[in-house]
Amino acid sequence: MALSMEEQRLLSEIASRLSAEDPKLAERFDRFGRRRARSRRSVRLIAAIVIAAVLIATAVAAGVAVAVS
């Protein structure tokens, strides 16, 4: 669900105030968001590696089955 322009403006205003009033807390929120994005990338990379390994193992098993026949 997308935010309206008014909601986006209010969130920007809140973020600006937070940065001005408590820069350390604002930095922690910023790092938290980046950490989550990095975590999602890691999960996708691991999933891609596992899928590739399964495909390779399947192809090798199929090749061995054909060679044995």
Tell me the residue range of the domain where 32 lies.
5-68
Query: Side-chain half-sphere of 35: how many Cα atoms within 13 Å?
Result: 6
What pLDDT score was predicted for residue 49?
A: 93
What pLDDT score was predicted for residue 26?
A: 85
Q: Which helix (H) or strand (E) holds 24?
A: helix 23-68
Per-residue pLDDT of the chain (69 residues), as tens digits, is 688 999 999 989 988 998 899 888 888 888 876 766 677 788 888 999 999 999 999 999 888 777 776
Number of domains in the chain: 1
What pLDDT score was predicted for residue 1?
A: 67
What pLDDT score was predicted for residue 27?
A: 86
What pLDDT score was predicted for residue 69?
A: 66
